Amino acid sequence: MQIESVNRAITDLPLTVKIRSKLRETAKLVSTHYSTMIEGNRLTLKEATQVIMDNQHFPGRERDEQEVLGYYNALDKIESIVSPKLKITETHIQQLHALVMSGKKTKIKPTPYRDGQNVIRDSQTKAIVYLPPEAKDVPQMMSDLVIWLEETRTELPCAIQAGMAHYQFATIHPYYDGNGRTARLLATLILHIGGYDLKGFYSLEEYYGRNLSDYYKALAIGPSHNYYMGRAEADISTWLEYFCLGMANAFENVYRQAKREDVTPDNTSVELKQLDSRQKKTLGFFQKSDTITAQNISKLFGIMPRTARVLCHKWVEAGFLVITDPAKKSRKYRLAKKYEELLKS
């Protein structure tokens, strides 16, 4: 109930485009810092921000720099592909992992699963913490996972499905490295598809990173460190409680921050309230570009080009967009004057 209440409250909160953009960018940077920190990244939040936003370098920290760039790019990828009808595939997951590991934005090939056994050890004692499934079982288990995601998307509450997917991906551990980061990204993707993106303002990773012992304890379920000795049949209620409490905590933090930032003038609030969620997201696009095309809209929302063209036409009729280049194949649009003023404010 706490999650649902805040989700609705944030949706209805009349925030300016500038504030929305600020909250979204801050959340991405915080998520990137804490998710990589969990895996041992040595950069501070300030240093990670400098690497991502200002292309700064820290001698001897090249791998740390690559990790924060990779995670940030993967979050960008989620924003670009998410839509309510998106069916998550193994390729989506493999692409997220490839971004996490490469630190690059383009020419990224989906990462194949590991071809050998992986062992997770305690960094200090070197004792085995978890022995994942054998490599030969990984492809079928990953196939089963994405099938299960599609079959249960209308049967399970989104938060429960995301939590279970996070747990199961970590259980399968399909890669030699990057499993934790990819598990957290998969959960984020599921929440975004299900309408729990909170406009991209929140960071679950911060909740995990601030108390790592609780995170690992919640994930360490089963009578043995060996996957084949009870992990698959374990009761994961404790983990799901932890996951949902984390969502509630992250959502509440966002709501408090959004309320502090909410300095929207009344006339701006009225204009924003008249826009639907897609139009509000499109406003963000115009912060970086003066014009937009149907192809941009198609990529922004993960919809078919024809559907994007129809949507643009409707927005022109509604007075949201204005045609600047009438060419049929390369038609361009700009914001109507009142929304340009809204963006400037």
The two three-digit tokens of residue 318, written as one number: 């509604």
Distance linking the first and last C-alpha atoms of the chain: 35
User: The dihedral of CA 194, 198, 201, 207: what is its sign?
Assistant: negative
pLDDT, the chain, mean: 89
Q: Say if 79 falls within a structural domain.
A: yes
More reliable by pLDDT, 208 or 254: 208
User: Which range has the worst mean pLDDT, 134-143, 212-221, 335-344?
Assistant: 335-344
Tokens of 174: 């399909």
Lowest mean pLDDT among 90-94, 123-127, 210-214, 225-229: 123-127
* Residue 108 resides in a domain: yes
In a domain, 276, yes or no: yes
**CATH code assigned at 304:** 1.10.10.10
pLDDT of residue 84: 85
14-28, 34-48, 129-143: segment of lowest average pLDDT: 14-28
With a cut of 90, say whether residue 288 has pLDDT above it: no
Q: Of 191, 225, 258, at which residue does a domain stop?
A: 258
Token pair 């989506």 in the structure block, residue: 92
Which phi and psi (to 5°) does residue 91 adopt? -65, -40
Pairing of strands 321-325, 120-121: unpaired
Q: What is the chain's length?
A: 345
- Where does a domain end: 226, 258, 290? 258
Q: 62-88: per-residue pLDDT in tens?
A: 999 999 999 999 999 998 898 888 999
Structural domain count, the chain = 2
Q: Is the pLDDT of residue 253 over 90?
A: no
